[in-house]
Amino acid sequence: MTTPAPRPSLRDTLRTGAGLNRDPGAALLDLYDRYGPVVDLGWGSNRHTLLLSPEANELILATDPANFTWRESFWLLVPVNGETALVVSDGDDHARRRRIVQPAFHRRRINTYASVMTEEADRELSTWRPGSTVDAYAAFRQVIRRIVVRCLFGDRFATNDAIVAPLETALGYVNRSPVRRFDHDLPGTAYRRAIRARAAVDELVFAEVEARRRGADETDDVLAWLVAAEDDGAGPTSDALTDQEVRDQVVSLIAAGYDTTSSAMGWSLYRLARHPQHAGAIREEVASAGGADSLDADDLAALPFTGAFVQEVLRHHSPAVMSGRHNVAPFEIHGCTVPAGTSILYSPWLTQHLPDQFRDPFEFRPGRWIPDHPDADAPHPYAHVPFGGGSRRCLGFAFATMELVLMTALAASRHELSWPSSTPPRPGGAVSMAPVGGLPLAVGPLDPVG
Ligand code: HEM
């Protein structure tokens, strides 16, 4: 016998739809409180089954990932990210591409990017003057864009408007909410601008790939790796990536890493401003690790509190609110049957705010992540999934974590920041939750450490 998932009434569904646009976290919690961990929402092509529990996360991400495919859920990314991007690949194609791309993000290689990260963060922070107010979110978006473009494409491209401007246009389009999209190539439409921007990016990327294949540039960046790498043969094929595949991976890696990291860094800066005691602890930790001027990948192990602070930012302000899959075969969960071919949504944000997993989940407590600390929590292994999990865990998780820790350490060490309002910024955004309307922070004089 099959037991369908509960379906909210028409009124509740409309209310949830509006809530998801306004404040997705609150709407999800409300849904969970009223219907439990499995809810069937919407109609027609907009009908989804929401799975809202750590157990569901584990099933989707780790226990039976082959039953949960990506392409149908992420097809909106295809016009810009490309047909062969990892995020829209499944099965053997995905496995082969991931095997080839993943070594570019191995710890040893990404450690070499630390100096780009600290250099770009410090370049921005050195322009902030005590007594001024800065839009810290907008400022660090630029920093993060320069870091991701430099590390993936090489230095020449980071300041090259010929690639940066069209990339912004194209990525801006795929990050729109689906209701603001109209994927028809007609004059004056945002879609046409995005497609033209994509063509401009492609021309430059293909020229660069060709130059790299000729050996005209010896830069050691992700593009160099993608052009040279071959599958290790452990899978069914042992080909190198085609030019189209290289292009799709580079553009989609930038897309996957830009908004998500910017959103997390915005919240990290907000939390530094809201909790001067945490900012002070980070500053002292950096000073003990040798000081901000020489901060490098080797210092990360000496920054456990900064690491815990970033983990808490990723928990409380999870950039990924929900992500999607389609299931190949039916399955049972929490006493409900989910038929084959269902559009499924799971939510890192929701499980990271469940009170039975995290005490006082709306309190910002870095101590949760420090073993033996009085605030330490012991959540289910799949309750905290800001980077997803299993064989399709975020490819850039180590890159992004290192970047966030280094940038947070530098921001705390260079300035005293404060939030000049009694209400927190409102989170919003179609792809990742960022502070709506920017993040105006007051920059104050820094007390010397010690
Ligand atoms: C704080 C920053 C980031 C967050 C919160 C984040 C989050 C995520 C999440 C939740 C997923 C899995 C989605 C799912 O299960 O449906 C994912 C996948 C992915 N992320 Fe990230 N990400 C971040 C930064 C990055 C960066 C910097 C890169 C690359 C430079 C990147 C590349 C990818 C790729 C390629 C995938 C797909 C992996 C696959 O299909 O095998 N991400 N990310």
Give the model confidence (pLDDT) of 52-71 as tens digits: 999 999 999 999 999 999 99
Strand 434-435 vs strand 68-69: parallel, antiparallel, or unpaired? unpaired
Q: Which of 154-163, 222-231, 243-252, 302-311: highest mean pLDDT?
A: 302-311
Q: Which residue has the tokens 């005209």?
A: 216
Q: Please work out whether the CB of residue 196 comes within 6 Å of at least one atom of ligand 1.
A: no
Give the model confidence (pLDDT) of 399-438 as tens digits: 999 999 999 999 999 999 999 888 999 888 766 788 988 9
- Ligand 1 binding pocket mutation candidate from 222, 260, 323 (most atoms within 8 A of CB): 260
What is the reported pLDDT for 445? 86
What is the reported pLDDT for 183? 85
3-state secondary structure (DSSP) of residue 51: strand
Distance in Å, CA 336 to ligand 1 centroid: 29
Q: Establish if 2 belongs to a structural domain.
A: no
What's the rounded Cα separation, in Å, for the pair 175 and 171? 6
What's the rounded Cα separation, in Å, for the pair 227 and 206? 11
Q: Establish if 326 belongs to a structural domain.
A: yes
- Tell me the pLDDT band of 232, cut-offs 50, 70 and 90: low
The pLDDT > 90 percentage for the chain reads: 65
Region 384-402: mean pLDDT is 97
DSSP state of 240: B
On whether the CB atoms of residues 394 and 400 are closer than 8 A, the answer is: yes
Residue 367 pLDDT more than 70?
yes
Region 318-347: mean pLDDT is 96
What is the reported pLDDT for 321? 92
Give the model confidence (pLDDT) of 84-115 as tens digits: 999 999 999 999 999 999 998 998 889 989 99
Q: Give the closest residue (by CA) to ligand 1 atom 17.
A: 394
Q: Please work out whether the CB of residue 389 comes within 6 Å of at least one atom of ligand 1.
A: no
Longest C-alpha distance within the chain, in Å? 68
- Kindly report which listed range (125-134, 220-229, 378-387) carries the lowest average pLDDT score: 220-229
What's the rounded Cα separation, in Å, for the pair 73 and 333? 20
On whether the CB atoms of residues 254 and 82 are closer than 8 A, the answer is: no
Ligand 1 atom closest to the Cα of residue 392 is 41
Give the model confidence (pLDDT) of 242-292 as tens digits: 999 999 999 899 888 888 999 999 999 999 999 999 999 999 999 999 999
Q: Establish if 4 belongs to a structural domain.
A: no
- Tell me the pLDDT band of 154, cut-offs 50, 70 and 90: confident
- Tell me the pLDDT band of 233, cut-offs 50, 70 and 90: low
Closest CA to 355 of 61, 20, 33, 57: 33
What's the rounded Cα separation, in Å, for the pair 279 and 408? 9
State the CATH number of the domain containing residue 38. Answer: 1.10.630.10
Q: Establish if 48 belongs to a structural domain.
A: yes
**Residue-averaged pLDDT of the chain:** 91
What's the rounded Cα separation, in Å, for the pair 142 and 264? 14
Region 354-365: mean pLDDT is 97
Q: Give the closest residue (by CA) to ligand 1 atom 16.
A: 323
Q: Establish if 153 belongs to a structural domain.
A: yes
Q: Establish if 146 belongs to a structural domain.
A: yes
pTM attached to this predicted model = 0.94
CA torsion 16→18→23→24, rounded to 10°? Answer: 50
- Three-state helix/strand/coil letters over 291-349: CHHHCCHHHHHHCHHHHHHHHHHHHHCCCECCEEEEECCCEEECCEEECCCCEEEECHH
What is the reported pLDDT for 450? 43
Q: Please work out whether the CB of residue 386 comes within 6 Å of at least one atom of ligand 1.
A: yes
Can you give the residue range of the structural domain that contains 183? 10-444
Residue 138 pLDDT more than 50?
yes
Number of H helices, E strands in the chain: 18, 12
On whether the CB atoms of residues 50 and 324 are closer than 8 A, the answer is: no
Q: Please work out whether the CB of residue 323 comes within 6 Å of at least one atom of ligand 1.
A: yes
Partner residues linked to 381 by β-bridges: none
**Total domains in the fold of the chain:** 1
On whether the CB atoms of residues 410 and 125 are closer than 8 A, the answer is: yes
Q: Please work out whether the CB of residue 264 comes within 6 Å of at least one atom of ligand 1.
A: yes
Region 11-23: mean pLDDT is 86
Q: Please work out whether the CB of residue 266 comes within 6 Å of at least one atom of ligand 1.
A: no
Distance in Å, CA 257 to ligand 1 centroid: 7
What is the reported pLDDT for 17? 84
